[in-house]
Structure 1
Amino acid sequence: MVCCFFIAVNYCSNAQPVKDYRPFINSVYSNINRYFYDAGNKLYYEECVQGEKQTHSFLWPLCALIQAANEASVINPSVNYIQPVVDAIDQYYTTATSLPSYQASVVKEKKDDAFYDDNQWIAIAYIDIYNREHEKKYLDAAVMIYDFMMTGYDSAAGGGLYWKYADKTTKNTCSNGPGILVALQLYKITNDNKYLQTALQLYNWVNAHLQSPDGLYYDNIKIPSLKIDSAKYTYNTGTMLQSNVLLYNITHDKKYLQRAESMAAAATNFFYKNNKLPGHYWFNAVMLRGYIELYNVNHDKQLLHLWYNEAERIWRDEKNTNGLLGHNARKKSLIDQAAMVEVYARLQAVN
């Protein structure tokens, strides 16, 4: 399949804020199915680029899409968003790792490494689906992923999880933050204390080794040099923010809530510049999860104002004539479409 030609279009900048995001959700998801779904193979394409043949997606965009499918299902429960994405994810399942996992590429097309964070994002979404639908297969898959992720733990750099199964050179916030969330959510379901202990172990390690002085998070620590990659990304803030709120909900220890509120303020100050967030939609969608988790506890609507502004700015300024979203006029990506479905659906849910 060769993707269609794109024409960028701008909309009036003084449009009034939109509070009903259901038409946005429906439009973007329809375009996902139109431009990115390979029905014959039950797979998805990574990108849609003018004049280029499409290739099947890496697993990472499907991590975004399965979460988007869950959030869209909350808003439109009669639509079957989830099963086509699960059918695609199943084609990444591998037993080539020491415990079963999902590798980065379609198994029948390429042997590839397994990323711990890819697996964790799927587990997070599957737990959310389980909590809504109570289908045990989703919980079973999340437990499988938890077991796999723990193969990435060792004592190098004092603990923590590696980023990739076959590459022991870096331990990242992006593989430990979501690991905390997987463990906490499994603890909430099972009441098995091992999950809470894992969550606290990872939480304490990240804060000891990767938290920056402003309360946000660096990207990774190199093994064995222990050199810190000081880049900061919104999704790393998002997982740790959400972890603090969940720990507060579980333990009722106010230090976690105080940390979450301080982190949200620091994140807004650091990332929201010139009335916009950095350009990676999905990183930002993960940060939104943390903001909404905090909002559900403290009910401070001010937390969400930047998100309404950002969601509407993207719809106004970064949507082409085909309704596809992204700041690159020539290339549109599955992960960007999925991220914005999640953003619009989450904002709709808290409206």
Structure 2
Amino acid sequence: MDMKLIIFAIATGACLLAGCYKEREDVPVITAPDTTTVSLTYKERARTVLDDIYRSYAIAGTDYLKENFPAQPGDPKYAYLWPYSAVFTAATLVKQLGYTDAVYQEHFDKTANGMNGYWDASRTPGGYQSAPVSEGSSDRFYDDNAITGIDMLEAYRVTGTAAFLEHAKAAYRFCASGETNEAGGGLYWNEAVRFNKDDPNCIKATNVTALAATLALQLYQEEQDAEYLAAAKRWYDWVKHHMLDPADNTFWNAVWLKDLSIDKTKWTYNSGAMIQNAALLYKITQEQDYLVDAKAWAAASYDHFTRTVAGQGKFFTPNDPWFTAVLLRGYLELYGVDKKADYINTLVANVDYAWKYARLPDTGQFYEDWSGADLGRYYSLLTQTALVEIYARISLWKQEK
């Protein structure tokens, strides 16, 4: 059974889609600060974490990585597409930072090649499936394809390799095939159950529709194809009008097709994707309403997803760091317009603290909770990869040499 379906089978309510992280009985205490590497630049930290990932998660003789380290019960043979594609983006960003040595280039080349192993052309339209095709047919998720398309487009922008652009466009086509008028529009989450309304996984989700809109907007920036802009606006409008909580300007998670009830869970990446979309739409159209949306949703996300930790300051949510990396993307896109750095600076302070106080000394793995209060799912490839992206984007934002 696919990882995402397992999550749905064991979790309801607030655990839907992303799942609740495991609570440990032995909550760790904050360790002494890491004084040996504290002076590293954000660029150097990004490279260090990527090297740590390959050292712990690489599977000898393959291009693939482990889902968890140490291994967890029920792990697949190879990491699922979602975390693997995140590693591809991490490697792309480290390349953008200027690393070209042989060790790094091997990381990038192996991961780029490994991405091809998830492409399934046996079903129409073609799309990325959740496990390598060498392991047989597996579920294809529309959000996975939106994420992977964004990752491919980033690789195209960094490398100029035309194949990456074609992969991004193919991922877009798969996502677009998941749109129907049911529930007012929007995109389904899982291809396999989209016609079975009795299945609890038959949903239309904010993350799918918002991230697909991001992919469409970025493709529009590259090719000026009106189809992309029209789709992005349509998907943006669906999320805004159906999934925005008017009480606090953050976003609900999904709608069940069986009875059109709403899963009102809130996740950082749903806000992040919509902030980025609003800022992109403003840049493309110069329509002020989009900028108003972006600013309002950024302020609301900061209020909703941060908490004060006694003696340590303000911290973003203590779970799902990759989701928060997507929120950072939104903040950075908006910063390009309004130059407001407050939200970004808080996140920078969080990962500065995590570098010193929330890592395991032997492997360098980060706690899921950056405040150092709980290891959480420290073993997850996705948890670790998020920090490569965050440090790399901070380095680019700060224009480090």
| Identity among equivalent pairs (%) | 30
Is this contact kept in 2: 1:120–1:182, CA < 8 A? yes
Deviations 1:66-109 (A, max 9, x none): 22122212213424243221212211111233211111112112
Q: 1:201 aligned to 2:248?
A: no
Is this contact kept in 2: 1:183–1:196, CA < 8 A? yes
Distance, in Å, in 2 between the alignment partners of 1:271 and 1:330 is 19
Distance, in Å, in 1 between the alignment partners of 2:231 and 2:154 is 20
Is this contact kept in 2: 1:173–1:218, CA < 8 A? yes
Is this contact kept in 2: 1:45–1:55, CA < 8 A? yes
Say how many residue pairs are matched: 344
SS at 2:292 equivalent: helix
- After superposing the two structures, state which structure 1 stretch, 294-303 or 241-250, moved more: 294-303
Read off the aligned partner of 1:187 and give its amino acid letter. Answer: Y
2:148 is matched with 122
Is this contact kept in 1: 2:57–2:66, CA < 8 A? yes
Which residue of the other structure, out of 275, 290, 307, is the alignment partner of 1:273? 307
Q: 1:264 aligned to 2:298?
A: yes
SS at 1:221 equivalent: strand
1:26 is matched with 47
Is this contact kept in 2: 1:160–1:171, CA < 8 A? yes
Which residue of the other structure, out of 246, 249, 254, is the alignment partner of 2:280? 246
CA separation of 1:308 and 1:126: change in aligned 2, threshold 3 A: same
Give the alignment of 1:321-340 within 5 angstroms. 321=361, 322-327=363-368, 328=375, 332-340=379-387
Q: 1:58 aligned to 2:91?
A: no
Which residue of the other structure, out of 104, 124, 130, is the alignment partner of 1:104? 130
Read off the aligned partner of 1:209 and give its amino acid letter. Answer: H
2:5 is matched with none
2:65 is matched with 44
User: Post-superposition shift, 1:24?
Assistant: 1.5
CA separation of 1:13 and 1:262: change in aligned 2, threshold 3 A: farther
Q: 1:221 aligned to 2:255?
A: yes
Higher RCO (CA-CA < 8 Å; seq separation 6+): 1
Distance, in Å, in 2 between the alignment partners of 1:316 and 1:220 is 37
SS at 2:315 equivalent: coil
Read off the aligned partner of 1:68 and give its amino acid letter. Answer: A
Q: 1:162 aligned to 2:184?
A: no
List alignment gaps of at least 5 residues for structure 2: 1-27, 195-201, 309-313, 369-374
Distance, in Å, in 2 between the alignment partners of 1:330 and 1:217 is 24
Q: CA RMSD in A?
A: 2.3
CA separation of 1:223 and 1:293: change in aligned 2, threshold 3 A: same
Read off the aligned partner of 2:330 and give its amino acid letter. Answer: G
Give the alignment of 1:264-343 within 5 angstroms. 264-274=298-308, 275-278=314-317, 279-321=319-361, 322-327=363-368, 328=375, 332-343=379-390
2:7 is matched with none
Which residue of the other structure, out of 263, 266, 270, is the alignment partner of 1:236? 270
- After superposing the two structures, state which structure 1 stretch, 68-77 or 303-312, moved more: 68-77
SS at 1:332 equivalent: coil
Read off the aligned partner of 1:136 and give its amino acid letter. Answer: A
List alignment gaps of at least 5 residues for structure 1: 1-6
Distance, in Å, in 2 between the alignment partners of 1:66 and 1:178 is 17
Distance, in Å, in 1 between the alignment partners of 2:133 and 2:34 is 45
Q: State the TM-score, normalizing by the size of structure 1.
A: 0.92
Distance, in Å, in 1 between the alignment partners of 2:167 and 2:71 is 37
- After superposing the two structures, state which structure 1 stretch, 47-56 or 90-99, moved more: 47-56
1:349 is matched with 396
